[in-house]
Chain A
Amino acid sequence: MTEEIQKKSPLRRLMPLIIFALLVALLWYGLSLNPRLVPSPLIGKPAPEFELPLLNEQGKLTHLDLKGDITLLNVFASWCFACRQEHEAITQLSRQGFRVIGFNYKDEPQDATAWLRQFGNPYYVVAQDLDGRAGIDWGVYGAPETFVIDHNGIVRDKRVGPVDAEYISETLMPLVQQIRSEQT
């Protein structure tokens, strides 16, 4: 009986330490997660149906227009500060030949127009979601958000928060390559 306890004891004595270490690892991992990033249930699904008027242009934009090529649908607004932060990165993507479509979320047309005049308009077209109804269908919960839609009109990724160099090199470019390889 006593011998048995003595044999077990080194592991037993270490047990609380092991449990503590596991807990620390778990909580440490938890701290590294961003609670504001809500995974989109739309990924892998067709773009939600919508039909929105264009800003300063005749015509409408619908979900059908998203097909044919890779589209970056960039949710922005003139009232959104972080949209200014990502504006340069968005402009660069547009210059690289990406079809970047603006999704002007809950904005006033004249404010949006002034904003684009001031900072430059990188968008192929800008759709206006004045009341945010289409935004709800897209699961938008704050600008900026950027959706990557493939040539078949399937949502492939959603970026919540400003698009930056890290997102472009680590997520967007590999995804674009993968989509291109699927196309051929």
Chain B
Amino acid sequence: MRAILFIALAFVLAPAYAGPVVTYDFASDEQEALFNKLSNELRCLVCQNQAISDSNADLARDLRDEIYGMLQQGKSEQEIVDFMVARYGDFVLYRPPMKPMTYVLWFGPALALVVGFFVVVRIVRKQRQAAAQEITAEDMERLKALRSEAGRTDKNEGGAG
């Protein structure tokens, strides 16, 4: 019975340990929203597939404190993002900036879609053309000629064999 209770409690209490627990006090709702937005859009460098907001890494906590401090000083979103990029590079951004180096990243999928579209159009058109080709009288003449020729070679071959 005690074991069951223990296991049940473990399940109930587990979510309490799921996320970083430090809470911040904000002057306004907008500030809190901005804090959440920034810490969700900036990448934790230690555990790279987590945002700063949901990482328990030491550095992520420091960076959350840093963002909080800068917001308290009245820094704008852009200023905070620039601060992070100046130190850790574009890598901290989950949303990569538009630069010549990232054009492939931004336009690649759209380009692939357009190319794919044209390929499909070409294939469909070709198939339709092939299906739509009518047999003309001239074709029938040629067919006849070829057939009689083939028949003759068949006979010749038959004679030889």
Across-interface contacts of B48 in A (CB, < 8 A): 35-36
Q: Which residues of A contact B (CB under 8 A)?
A: 35-36, 38-42, 48, 106, 131-133, 136-139, 141-142
Contact A41 B88 (CB under 8 A): yes
CB of B131 to closest CB in A, whole Å: 13
User: Can you list the 3 inter-chain pairs with the closest CB atoms, starting with the nearest?
Assistant: A141-B45, A139-B87, A41-B89
B89 engages A137 (CB within 8 Å)? no
- By the criterion CB–CB under 8 Å, are A137 and B87 in contact? yes
- CB–CB B89/A39 < 8 A: yes
Residues of chain B from 81 to 131 with CB closer than 8 A to chain A in the complex: 85-91
Task: Contact check, B87 vs A136: say whether CB atoms are below 8 A apart.
Answer: yes
A77 to chain B, nearest CB (A): 11
Q: Is the CB of B87 within 8 A of A132?
A: no
- From A36, A41, A48, A141, contact of B59 by CB (8 A): A141
Per the bound structure, the CA–CA distance linking A157 and B135 in Å amounts to: 73
Residue of B nearest to A160 (CB): B45
Interface residues of B in 37-54 (CB under 8 A from A): 45-46, 48
- Which residues of B are at the interface with A, using a C-beta cutoff of 8 A? 45-46, 48, 58-59, 62-63, 66, 85-91
Q: Which of A35, A106, A138, A141 is packed against the most chain B CB atoms within 10 Å?
A: A141
Main secondary structure of the interface of B (DSSP, over half): helix
- Give the shortest distance, in Å, between A160 (CB) and chain B (any CB): 10
B56 to chain A, nearest CB (A): 15
Minimum CB–CB distance from B143 to chain A (whole Å) comes to 15
Say whether B66 contacts A136, CB under 8 Å. Answer: yes
Cross-chain contact A141 with B58 (CB below 8 angstroms): no
Q: Give A131's nearest chain B residue, CB to CB.
A: B62
A selection of 11 A-B contacts at a CB cut-off of 8 Å is A36-B48, A38-B91, A39-B91, A41-B89, A41-B90, A132-B62, A136-B63, A136-B87, A138-B87, A139-B87, A139-B88
A41 touches B46 (CB 8 A): no
**Across the two chains, which residue of chain A brings its CB closest to B49?**
A35
Name, among B46, B48, B85, B87, the residue most crowded by chain A CB atoms within 10 Å (CB to CB). B87
Bound-state CA distance A59–B93 (Å) is 38
In the bound assembly, the distance between CA atoms of A40 and B85 in angstroms comes to: 10
Q: Give the complex CA separation of A41 and B48 in angstroms.
A: 18
Residue of A nearest to B63 (CB): A136
Which residues of chain A are near B88, meaning CB under 8 Å? 38, 41, 139, 141
Q: Name the residue on B nearest A40 (C-beta).
A: B89
**A141 engages B62 (CB within 8 Å):** no
Complex CA gap A13/B88 in Å reads: 47
With A and B bound together, what is the CA distance between A133 and B62 in angstroms? 8
B48 closest partner in A (C-beta): A35
- A138: nearest residue on chain B (CB-CB)? B87
